[in-house]
Amino acid sequence: MSTTTQNDWPLLDFNEIKDTLATMHQWIQIVGKIRMKTMPWQNHSWHVPLYISTKGFTTQGIPYEGRIFQIDFDFKQHKLLIECSNAGGISMDLYPRTVADFYKELFEKLKELDIVVKIYARPNEIEPAIPFAENTVNKSYDEASALAIWKSMLKANEVFNQFRSDFIGKASPVHLFWGAFDLAVTRFSGSDAPLHPGGMPNMPLDVMQEAYSKEVSSAGFWPGSEAFPFPAFYAYAYPSDAEFGSQNVLPEEAFWSEDMGEFFLKYEDVQKSSNPEKMLLSFLESTYEAAAKTSNWNREQLEK
């Protein structure tokens, strides 16, 4: 598939990337769980996500028994890189291979670096939750698709960070949650939220309730799924006022999904725009304003 466009936002056709996406989703869950088990706990599960890097996705540095190690997906060279502060780096190739094979080799490489981590070895927020060591179903890896997925996240990451800078209240980093495979940024009002009812597949209720223990306005980018087969930007509020979905938001291509309880803007509309960054920023700002307005946030204390 072609990954170059006039405005440098890559083309993303879900039907072309879906098999690679499904395999990568499993792979990033394995790496993300390693980070989750070894990092000190942070509120709202901020110790869990991955981050966008110059080459792909990264755990960033993970403290471990007086050392630091880091795991990076490199979609330029199509390798997984494992580095440790007291040893040389080790790499493994990314190619069409089963999740079981990826899982086995990764933990062998960690053992070579004297890093011992035990994870819950099956996926979260995915159905069916096949144990990683038994998953021979997902085994697709197209280099051009992987590169396009990363480059789309790279472009979104820049706009998300710009959007985050305009808020002086509590805000999350821009991070890649491996549960749903979405790049997200969240703003907090500072007020408590009602207990979250849960509902995500293979996700502990207490984790969901802690993550949504405060009022939020959240936005992100999601490359899609079989049930929702197009990459899209989303925005939601928790708790969500009944008037939230009826607010006018920008750009005109944005729409409200009653089923999902979120605003959406298709990635395709952004990618085809003459100014994708401006279009996306207008979506982020207007959906936040809709949430803050309908939920009565104290905006004077939260905004520059």
**Stretch 241-259: mean pLDDT, rounded?**
97
Both tokens of 150, joined, read: 């990363």
Question: What's the confidence (pLDDT) of residue 3?
Answer: 52
232 Cβ neighbours under 8 A, 6+ residues apart: 221, 222, 224, 264, 265, 266, 267
pLDDT in tens, 52-97: 999 999 999 999 999 999 999 999 999 999 999 998 899 999 999 9
- Is the pLDDT at 4 greater than 70? The verdict is no
Where do the domains of the chain lie?
14-134, 143-302
Give the pLDDT confidence of 206-224 residue by residue, as tens digits: 999 999 999 999 999 999 9
pLDDT, tens only, 20-60: 999 999 999 999 999 999 999 999 999 999 999 999 999 99
Average pLDDT, the chain: 96
Read off the pTM: 0.95
Task: Quote the percentage of the chain above a pLDDT of 90.
Answer: 93
